[in-house]
Amino acid sequence: MKIQVNYKYRSFILTLGFLLVSFLLPGCYDSDSVGDNLYTFTGETIGSFLETDPERYGEFDKVVKKAGLGDLLKTYNKYTCFAPTNEAMYAWYDSLGVTSIDFVPDSIVRYVAYSHLIPDKVYEFFTEAGALASTNMNSRYLVVGFRAQGETVNVVINSSSRIIDVIGLSDDEDDEDKVNIENGIIHVIDKVLTPSTAAIPSLLGKDSRLTIFSAALELTALEDSLQEIRDREYIPVKDPLSIDGKTICRSPKERKYGYTIFAESDEVLKNKANITDLEGLKTYAASVYDEMYPQDAGITDFTDRRNSLNRFVSYHIIDKTVHYNNFFYKANMAKNITLYEFMETFCPNTIFKASNDNGEVVLNSDIARGVLGVKVLPAESGREQDTDNGVYHLLDDILVYDRKVRTMLLNTRIRVDAASLHPELMTNGIRYEKGDNPAGVTGASNYYKFASGFLKNVEFISPSTDLYYLQGQKSGGSWNNYQADEMMATGEFDFIMRLPPVPAGTYEVRFGYTANVKRGILQFYIDGQPKGIPLNMKIAASDPSIGWVSDQNTLDEGYENDKMMRNRGYMKGGTSYLSGDNTARDNNGALRRIVSTETWTEDAPHYLRFKSVSGDKGDQFMIDYFELVPKNVYESPSGAPEDRI
């Protein structure tokens, strides 16, 4: 069966199989930012083109100008514009009960105008469903979907606005009607984009599939914790200096809050556990969590975080906005490996594991013990599941934190990228700014510098601490980083990062980094206690004090060398991420430092402090990832060595 994606200026003939596979592939033409608005054009721009055809775009042109964007869209910067037709605009006026843009409040006009423009990015066409990597001018993600109509597959934005034309495609040389848009591209749509601005609980509460879960969310008062949209007191760093100490870089323009809710439909609750009402869910939650936390079994206040129903609902909530196609950061990762993330939930001292088993998003799978996990379902066509402060996803089974999950975590190496620790990076569109290919934003001027307090899981002890986010390079680049990106501190830094909670047990705490001569020397502290001797990050792994030897230069594929390095407190990088065309294990700069072995008697988060002891303000402290490794993994009862992934 042939499927045709419906564009006027570009037609793609796709097999249905390719369309399904495309959910996993990079999906759009990428034109990098070209800087500030330096000058105006004399040729056709988005702004001037809208003026040339008032019979088709006149109403949207009025919106643009009333919002104060008329001149901006005639400038040098790049934009992706979604332009509603006049017919679409008239339908929107009708929905508001007005007859023209003159009767729409300025604040609404501005929000709607901003909703239709993505700055600094040109998306020519789309082959992947899900949230676009770049946000619009309201700092909101637009979501691409596909809707079949016979043998034509229409591209829809935010579930309802169909793309009916494209103006300004770069390679339609044979089209005699081709229009060159010098500062971007225009996707013509048949319905005005009116993204929800309600808090995420309100949006979820309108979904008729989720009446039981929504009632539980309200009863536990957890919805009260999901109302915030942005931090009104946040002030960006003014003219922030980058890691080189001289280039002006970026500071986040705002500090938005975001939440992701995972919810079982009424149908799933009935089919999986014969739950047909809220009382049934209360009973089910008690059967799980009263066993896990027997000391709290008598708590009947549903708003108490120790109550069983409260634990059930709160285990379904995380404090960052994660769209379906953004769960896994694929940049610089080896092919054909399972990707995963560990995410802290609102349920006290709990996490879940998300993995891309069989190309899907699966929570808490444990293949070694025959646990398939719970699948996160992509949104159905026509369903709006995201709003200004979050998104919700439906599940195919019931998600709980039970003994099976605890066993899985106690037998799993918990590796967490440094950027993944900070929900603000995902919610504010910083980490996924370029999707899975961060090429084009690497460079001193494009890094982010964070004001004290922007990252809730970081505490600056020294005011001399400068902390940055570096997007990294795409696969095959020269950086040896897990998931491509890194965080970096400079100056006489002294700060604390909060690590995610883990079940009580014995763990190796490891720190992943890349060594080079620009790095610093630092002392580690865990939960306030100094650990080991200072780490000199300038020393390459091949130095005799570390003893790295390439596997190819050993007789046993490096196993004895691994033991020797462990005795000195080091490990090679993993095979799951890349150094150029090879894995990080093959690079003598990619290292893991075994910071300490800790026995923790309670389920709890832990705090890792980093203090510079080099005395050189120019040193760089590079932070790649952390590992919390249960004893069953690094010292398996079977005697088998830990995997090299």
**Whole domain around residue 623: which residue ranges?**
413-634
Residues 372 and 418 in one domain: no
Q: Name which of 312, 503, 338 is nearest 406 in CA terms.
A: 503
Answer yes or no: do 571 and 607 share one domain.
yes
Give the residue from 39, 37, 57, 38 showing the smallest Cα distance to 48. Answer: 57
> Is residue 476 located within the same domain as residue 584?
yes
Query: CATH number of the domain that 54 lies in?
Result: 2.30.180.10
Spatial contact of 344 and 500, defined as CB atoms under 8 Å apart: yes
β-strand partners of 508: 597, 629
Asked, for residue 609, whether it belongs to a domain, the answer is yes
Measured distance CA(466)–CA(493) in Å, rounded: 7
The per-residue pLDDT for 398 is 98
Same domain? For 373 and 270 the reply is: yes
pLDDT at 4 over 70: no
Residue 312 burial (10 A CB sphere; 0-12, 13-18, 19+): buried
| Per-residue model confidence (pLDDT) at position 85 | 98
Q: What is the number of residues in the chain? A: 645
> The whole model's pTM is what?
0.88
Is 195 part of a structural domain of the chain? no
Are 421 and 506 contained in the same domain? yes
> Residue 461 gets which letter from DSSP?
S
pLDDT level of residue 139 (50, 70, 90 thresholds): confident
* E-only strand ranges, 410-462: 414-417, 448-449, 458-460
For residue 389, is pLDDT > 50?
Answer: yes
N-terminal to C-terminal alpha carbon distance within the chain: 40
Residue-level pLDDT at 438: 60
Is there a contact between 214 and 152 (Cβ–Cβ < 8 Å)?
no
pLDDT tens, position by position, 472-531: 865 555 689 999 999 999 989 999 999 999 999 999 999 999 999 999 999 999 999 999
Pair (388, 440) in one structural domain:
no
Q: Which two tokens stand for residue 52?
A: 């040339």
Closest C-alpha among 488, 473, 438 to residue 243 = 488
Considering 376, 401, 426, which residue would you say is the last residue of a domain? 401
For 625-637, give one letter per residue: b (16+ CB within 10 A) or e. Answer: bbbbbbbebbeee
Of 345, 377, 401, the residue at which a domain comes to its end is 401
Residue 380: the pLDDT is 85
Using the predicted structure, report yes or no on whether residue 37 has a pLDDT greater than 50. no
- Residue-wise pLDDT for 270-308, tens only, equals 999 999 999 999 999 999 999 999 999 999 999 999 999
Query: Which of 645, 643, 625, 623 has its CA nearest to residue 633?
Result: 643
Contact 595/515 with Cβ under 8 angstroms? Answer: no
Q: What would the 3-class secondary structure string for 339-374 be?
A: CEEEEECCCCCCEEEEECHHHCEEECCEHHHCECCE
The pLDDT of residue 608 is above 50:
yes
Q: Which residues are within 8 A (CB) of 488 and not within 5 positions of it... i.e. 6 or more apart?
A: 243, 467, 468, 469, 470, 620, 621, 622, 623
List, for residues 315-347, the tens digit of each pLDDT value: 999 999 999 999 998 889 999 999 999 999 999
Work out the percent of the chain whose per-residue pLDDT is above 90.
78
Annotate 460-475 with b (16+ C-beta within 10 A) or e (fewer): beeeebbbbbbbbbbb
- pLDDT averaged over every residue in the chain: 90
Beta bridge partners of 156: 145, 162
Cβ pair 413, 629 in contact under 8 A: yes
- Please say whether the beta carbons of 222 and 346 come within 8 A: yes
Report yes or no: 416 and 625 within 8 Å, Cβ to Cβ.
yes
Lowest mean pLDDT segment, chosen from 28-42, 124-138, 254-268, 381-395: 28-42
Task: Dihedral sign for Cα 235, 236, 239, 243, please.
Answer: positive
For residue 406, tell me if it sits in a domain. Answer: no
Instruction: Count the domains in the chain.
Output: 3
Q: Do residue 161 and residue 272 come from a single domain?
A: no
pLDDT exceeds cutoff 80 at 165:
yes
Mean pLDDT of 79-85: 97
Q: What is the pLDDT of residues 175-233, one digit of tens each?
A: 556 788 999 999 999 999 998 888 999 999 999 999 999 999 999 999 999 999 999 99
